[in-house]
């Protein structure tokens, strides 16, 4: 009998044995194509010797030194490289151990910024209904999945949720994509005014929505309008790139494609590429200086912030991405994957939408393609697709809660950046057979 507490207590999972490139192998020898990099994590694939060498070199020097006493070379070098290659104005990097922690740090920094700058009444957070920001209480409160929040609602911070930018379902007939984006962004202004602008601290959104929607990018101009609204009312803009960041969409940061400068960005997953558990909260000099010139102490932290081994692994991952020109490869292979998905599923009766950017692609599964009617949640389509794909030797990331965080199914694909054309074909063929089986 196992003593591990698994998340799904009734599941009977195979034991992982090894990984190589885009494939994972379980103990029985079964081979799986990692079509989603787990949950958009394994961007370099499995078993990369350079990353393993960077980790063991750091382990041999020193594994851990508490950030209350020391900084470390890998943390300093990684922060420099991220700030150098990051969105405009981003200047400081706070390292944590994962995505939820990064989002917690972002929320707390936003709050503390307003305390330090003499606006302590600003405490409200606005997020979007189609979103996932993590599973710790603050991040969970921000997330859009009502079913995730419901059991913990009495012990969570209050958050408002506005509509996402979700062209497939929400753009009206006769409206251009741009007009739709301006209308969708307008919901933020309405909500700020409803709450009272002087009480709102931040708006948080994923530039390309991942787990809850299957790679949904915003339409052109949406995020620029969001930025304008935030500026008008002095609200901070937090972009959660935990899933879509670190090259996944074809630029190092997804927000580069939106032409906006966020106040805070969160990253994780692809930062350590699965080689170490790591995340980061990046912010502008303005926010950092508010603390530096104020209390001088960010009231947040964990034992493992800035862990030297995690930072050494992430530094090696980021250098690999830059030195091997992998982000250009994401664009090229992403186009190839998009074409293959359109060829295979463009006319599929149960595929309503095919979307995404770079190697971050999603398909939305519907009961009826013409009316866009979703499957009833009790049919468990996403779970059945996941199981059928897994049986066929494909790891993909199907989730429910696509529509307003409640109904709807999609499949999210986020393969390693090293994927080859024949593996893209294998991925699409296996996904096709899984959809057929369901
Ligand atoms: N934010 C986004 C956009 C995510 O997709 C996730 C995880 O899927 C998180 C935050 C939470 O990250 P973690 O699971 O590493 O805590």
Average pLDDT over residues 245-261: 98
Q: pLDDT digits over 261-293, tens only?
A: 999 999 999 999 999 999 999 999 999 999 999
Could you tell me the distance, in angstroms and rounded to a whole number, from the CA of residue 211 to the centre of ligand 1? 8
What contacts 24+ positions apart, CB below 8 Å, involve 113-121? 113/201, 113/236, 113/287, 113/290, 113/291, 114/201, 116/290, 116/291, 116/293, 116/294, 116/295, 117/290, 117/294, 119/198, 119/234, 121/198, 121/199
Q: Is the pTM of this model over 0.95?
A: yes
Q: Whose CA is nearest to atom 7 of ligand 1?
A: 134
Residue with the smallest CA separation from ligand 1 atom 10 is: 133
Question: Which atom of ligand 1 is found nearest the CA of 243?
Answer: 5
Residue 1 confidence (pLDDT) above 80: no
Which 8-state DSSP code applies to residue 15?
P
Assign 10 a pLDDT band (cuts: 50, 70, 90).
confident
**347-386, pLDDT tens digit by residue?**
999 999 999 999 999 999 999 999 999 999 899 999 999 9
Average the pLDDT over 8-23 and give the result: 93
Q: Which atom of ligand 1 is nearest to the CA of 136?
A: 16
Q: Report the atom number in ligand 1 closest to the C-alpha of 209.
A: 3
Residue 111 three-state SS: helix
Instruction: Report pLDDT for 183.
Output: 98
* pLDDT value, residue 402: 84
Give the pLDDT mean for 71-97: 97
> Which residues surround ligand 1 with Cβ inside 6 Å?
39, 98-100, 103, 132-134, 206, 210-211, 240, 242-243, 268
Helix (H) and strand (E) counts for the chain? Answer: 14, 17
> Residue 412 C-alpha to ligand 1 middle, in angstroms?
14
Test site for ligand 1: of 134, 204, 238, 274, most ligand atoms within 8 A of the Cβ: 134
Residue 404: pLDDT band by 50, 70, 90 thresholds? confident
pLDDT the model gives residue 81: 98
Per residue in 27-45, pLDDT (tens digit) is: 999 999 999 999 999 999 9
CA 296 / ligand 1 centre spacing (Å) = 29
In the predicted model, what is the mean pLDDT of residues 183-200? 98
Atom of ligand 1 nearest to the CA of 100: 16
Confidence (pLDDT) at 425: 98
Residue 242 has a pLDDT of: 98
* CATH value of 16-47+325-437 in 3.30.565.10, 3.20.20.70, 3.90.1150.10, 3.30.1490.20: 3.90.1150.10
Closest C-alpha to 129, from 149, 150, 143, 141: 143
Average pLDDT over residues 423-427: 98
One fold for 16-47+325-437 and 53-323: no
CATH of domain 53-323: 3.40.640.10
How many Å apart are CA 61 and CA 309, to the nearest integer?
10
CA 244 to ligand 1 center in whole angstroms = 10
Which of residues 70 and 4 earns the better pLDDT score?
70
The candidate with the shortest Cα–Cα distance to 166, out of 205, 202, 125, 224, is 205
Q: Which residue has the higher pLDDT, 2 or 193?
A: 193
The ipTM is 0.99
- Sorted by where each begins, the domain ranges of the chain are 16-47+325-437, 53-323
State how far the Cα of 365 lies from the Cα of 410, in Å rounded to an integer: 5
Res 405 pLDDT > 80: no
CA-closest residue to ligand 1 atom 5: 243
pLDDT, the chain, mean: 96
What is the model's pLDDT at position 276? 98
Per-residue pLDDT reduced to its tens digit, 108-163: 999 999 999 999 999 999 999 999 999 999 999 999 988 899 999 999 998 999 99
């Amino acid at each position: 009998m196992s003593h591990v507490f698994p998340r799904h207590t009734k599941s009977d999972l195979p034991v992982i044995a090894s990984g190589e490139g885009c494939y994972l192998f379980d103990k029985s020898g079964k081979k799986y194509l990692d079509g989603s990099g787990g949950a958009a994590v394994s961007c370099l694939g499995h078993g990369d010797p350079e990353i393993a060498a960077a980790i063991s070199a750091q382990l041999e020097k020193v594994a851990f030194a508490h950030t209350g006493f020391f900084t470390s070379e890998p943390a300093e070098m990684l922060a420099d490289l991220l700030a150098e290659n990051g969105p405009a104005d981003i200047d400081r990097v706070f390292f944590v151990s994962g995505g939820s922690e990064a989002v917690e740090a972002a929320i707390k920094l936003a709050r503390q910024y307003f305390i330090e700058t003499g606006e302590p009444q600003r405490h409200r957070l606005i997020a979007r209904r189609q979103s996932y920001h993590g599973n710790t209480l603050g991040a969970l409160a921000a997330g859009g999945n009502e079913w995730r929040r419901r059991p913990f609602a009495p012990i969570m911070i209050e958050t408002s949720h506005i509509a996402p930018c979700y062209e497939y379902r929400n753009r009206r007939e006769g409206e251009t994509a741009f007009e739709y984006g301006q209308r969708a962004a307008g919901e933020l202004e309405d909500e700020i005014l409803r709450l009272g602008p002087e009480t709102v601290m931040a708006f948080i959104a994923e530039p390309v929505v991942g787990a809850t929607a299957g790679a949904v990018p915003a339409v052109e101009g949406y995020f620029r309008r969001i930025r304008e609204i935030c500026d008008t009312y002095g609200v901070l803009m937090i972009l959660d790139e935990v899933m879509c960041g670190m090259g996944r969409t074809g630029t190092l940061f997804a927000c580069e494609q939106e032409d906006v400068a966020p106040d805070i960005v969160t990253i994780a997953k692809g930062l350590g590429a699965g080689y170490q558990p790591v995340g980061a909260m990046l912010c502008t000099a303005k926010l950092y200086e508010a603390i530096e010139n104020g209390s001088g102490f960010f009231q947040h932290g964990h034992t493992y912030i800035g862990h030297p081994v995690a930072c050494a692994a992430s530094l090696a991952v980021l250098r690999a991405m830059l030195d091997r020109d992998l982000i250009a490869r994401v664009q090229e292979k992403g186009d190839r994957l998009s074409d293959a998905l359109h060829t295979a599923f463009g006319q599929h009766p149960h595929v309503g939408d095919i979307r995404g950017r770079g190697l971050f692609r999603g398909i939305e599964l519907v009961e009826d393609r013409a009316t866009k009617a979703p499957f009833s949640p009790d049919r468990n389509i996403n779970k059945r697709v996941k199981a059928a794909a897994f049986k066929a030797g494909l790891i993909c990331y199907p989730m429910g809660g696509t529509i307003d965080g409640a109904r709807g199914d999609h499949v999210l694909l986020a393969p390693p950046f090293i994927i080859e054309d024949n593996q893209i074909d294998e991925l699409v063929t296996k996904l096709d057979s899984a959809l057929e089986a369901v």
